[in-house]
Structure 1
Amino acid sequence: MPKAYAFTQYGGPEVEAFIDLPRPVPGPGQLLVAVRAAGVNPVDWKKRTGYRPAGAAPAELPSVLGNEVAGVVEQVGEGVEGFDVGDAVFGNSITGGYAEYTLLPVEVSAHKPEVLSFVDAATLPIAAATAYDGVHQLELAPGATLLIVGVGGGVGVAAAQIARHAGLTVIGTAGAGKKDFVESLGVVHVEPGPGVADRVRAAAPDGVDAIYDLVGGTALEEVAEVLEDRSKLITAGDRETVARLGGSPVRRVRDRTVLDAVAQLVVQGVLRPFVTATFPLDQASQALREVEDGHARGKIVIEVAR
């Protein structure tokens, strides 16, 4: 039976395990995909602890980890148009991405450009698409200054590149160990921690026009004071803190147009996925620990051998 990496109950890494599952059967509007690569994101381990995005139903246990994949269509469900068996695709998984097979909803799936690798394509449905949605939501004019809180991770790296391409000045908070990497993106690096607001003001003497938060909690609270217009404060995760501060969550578009757009940015050389490490499926635990422990720079991807 096909192999998958899942959590069997809510908790820490100890509840993760490999399980055997029947090959999924695509329903109407779904694609059965043989997974070639799966992106690893913070939301993966957060869901294991019981976190649920707004409006999401509780996970059915065991729950396969991972939400973004690239692979090859094995079967199409009833009513699917525009996709055929053998097509290379990428998108948001319904049944989990750390697996040999998964289901994709056709409305959040896109054809993979031939020049784009499966590994790079697997970084786009969540990290790059979230970055794209957030930067466009802010509607900043060229020359404006954007502060990205937690710029060194997958979403932050993509958001910085998209923002720079839009003509924005980007300042980003990240640990000292990521300084050179962050600056290589054309981002002004600011170290987080006590006094961070003063360091941001020094880096942006003309002020900050927007904040894109990827960390939440204290890290967001410490910098929010530098922004006068709280309608330009958004977060990709901490809805409670951002609401208290007068901001809002990122509005996810979640459709094929965004997937096609970010893929074209990669093809054009505007957006580099910055995959810094890949792991085989049988090392899925190590891949997730890299992200959960905060050691990852850029993106971590799991590759599924065929």
Structure 2
Amino acid sequence: MSKAYVFTRFGGPEVEAFVDQDPPEPGPGQLLVAVRAAGVNPVDWKLRAGKRRPGAPPAEFPEVLGSEVAGVVEAVGAGVEGFAVGDEVFGNPVTGGYAEHTLLPASLTAHKPVGLSFTEAAALPVAAATAYDGVRQLDLPAGATLLITGVGGGVGVAAAQLARHYGVRVVGTASAGKKDFVEALGVVHVPAGRGVAESGVAEAGVAESGEADLPSLADRVRAAAPGGRVDAVFDLVGGEHLAAVASLLPDPRGKLITAAAKETVGELGGAAVARARTSEVLDAVARLAADGVLRPQVTATYPLERADEALRAVEGGHARGKVVIEVGA
């Protein structure tokens, strides 16, 4: 039997549970992988809450949580080329990641570089790949200034590193408690949350006590950005946070992207991050990580038996960098 952490219906943390199940059988184009590490992402709890992508197949309960893993190939399905039993790989599973075994489609799997740990590799398929796709989509020249909202999370720290590698200056919004963390990445920190010109309380998940007394978010960004302007926005927060910074761009077309508000960003003239979702992208981020350009910034790890705590850390909105569940040997 294989242990997994699942949700039994749509809802909150109360619908999560551990189960023992038979390891899945790899179908054509699939790999059976013994999981060594699984990344934790906001999309995990959002899927549990019932927020599924348009066109996604209906849930079959119990459904295993988790959307990125690294592990060792145990079996290869029909038609798979380039992978063999014993290979160390990472990618996006089709049967969940918080488990001792899962299935990976060969088309969304890459070989793990020798110099990269399983824990580090498990942080790449969602956060780093999203950051890679977004930074490429913006295609900013060296010397330009990029604003990243929610820069302290997994996608944000990866996007900041990539942008800096390409010579782009980075300004980022994050809670006051993440100031030192993001500044160590070469990011100009801007305190998150609403200011006195934006009535109401600070936004949950991105602000801390006292931040509602600040000037407006747009004014804070202008004060921090070189020359008082930004050339593009990579949004990872959505909501009023996104609306506040969209006003910084005279023409948001092609320069305002989001991974957090895909359904509404078009109203502001922007677009969702165009995800490539290919093994070629995974290979690219793996090379960048192996070369030291992209550091996964795993700041907390949990054993599978504490998967609930790992997910709470991310769902609470205050996690720095990446949270990873370590599984198996």
What SS does the corresponding residue of 1:126 show, helix, strand or coil?
helix
What SS does the corresponding residue of 1:90 show, helix, strand or coil?
strand
- State the partner residue of 1:124: 124
In the alignment, residue 3 of structure 2 is paired with which amino acid?
A: K
- State the partner residue of 1:164: 164
Match among 207, 211, 234 for residue 212 of structure 1:
234
The aligned runs of 1:1-306 (5 Å cut-off) are 1-193=1-193, 194=195, 195-204=216-225, 205-231=227-253, 232-306=255-329
Do the aligned residues in 1 keep the contact of 2:301 with 2:325 (CA within 8 Å)?
yes
- State the partner residue of 2:198: none
- CA-to-aligned-CA distance 1:203-241 (integer Å, 9 cap, x gap): 123411110001101111111111112121100121123
TM-score, normalised to structure 1's length?
Answer: 0.98
In the alignment, residue 221 of structure 2 is paired with which amino acid?
A: V
Q: CA deviation at 1:22?
A: 1.3
In structure 1, distance between residues paired with 2:228 and 2:173: 18
- CA-to-aligned-CA distance 1:151-204 (integer Å, 9 cap, x gap): 000000000000000110100000000001010000000012221100111112
In structure 2, distance between residues paired with 1:8 and 1:72: 27
TM-score, normalised to structure 2's length?
Answer: 0.92
Structure 1 runs, 4 residues or longer, greater than 4 Å off = none
Do the aligned residues in 2 keep the contact of 1:209 with 1:229 (CA within 8 Å)?
no
In structure 2, distance between residues paired with 1:180 and 1:225: 27
In structure 2, distance between residues paired with 1:148 and 1:8: 35
Do the aligned residues in 2 keep the contact of 1:210 with 1:233 (CA within 8 Å)?
yes
In structure 1, distance between residues paired with 2:156 and 2:181: 12
In structure 2, distance between residues paired with 1:211 and 1:54: 25
Over the matched positions of the two proteins, sequence identity in percent amounts to 70
Do the aligned residues in 2 keep the contact of 1:275 with 1:301 (CA within 8 Å)?
yes
What SS does the corresponding residue of 2:218 show, helix, strand or coil?
helix
5+ long unaligned stretches in structure 2: 196-215
Do the aligned residues in 1 keep the contact of 2:221 with 2:228 (CA within 8 Å)?
no
In the alignment, residue 274 of structure 2 is paired with which amino acid?
A: R
In the alignment, residue 298 of structure 2 is paired with which amino acid?
A: V
In structure 2, distance between residues paired with 1:277 and 1:71: 19
What SS does the corresponding residue of 1:24 show, helix, strand or coil?
coil
Do the aligned residues in 1 keep the contact of 2:99 with 2:304 (CA within 8 Å)?
yes
Between the two proteins, the alignment pairs up a number of residues equal to 306
Do the aligned residues in 2 keep the contact of 1:147 with 1:211 (CA within 8 Å)?
yes
In the alignment, residue 256 of structure 2 is paired with which amino acid?
A: L
Q: CA deviation at 1:104?
A: 0.3
What SS does the corresponding residue of 2:248 show, helix, strand or coil?
coil
Do the aligned residues in 2 keep the contact of 1:41 with 1:291 (CA within 8 Å)?
yes
Considering only aligned residues, what root-mean-square deviation do their CA atoms show, in Å?
0.9
Moved more, 227-236 or 274-283: 227-236
In structure 1, distance between residues paired with 2:163 and 2:252: 19
In structure 2, distance between residues paired with 1:228 and 1:8: 46
- CA-to-aligned-CA distance 1:6-31 (integer Å, 9 cap, x gap): 10000100000001221100000000
In structure 2, distance between residues paired with 1:58 and 1:222: 35
5+ long unaligned stretches in structure 1: none
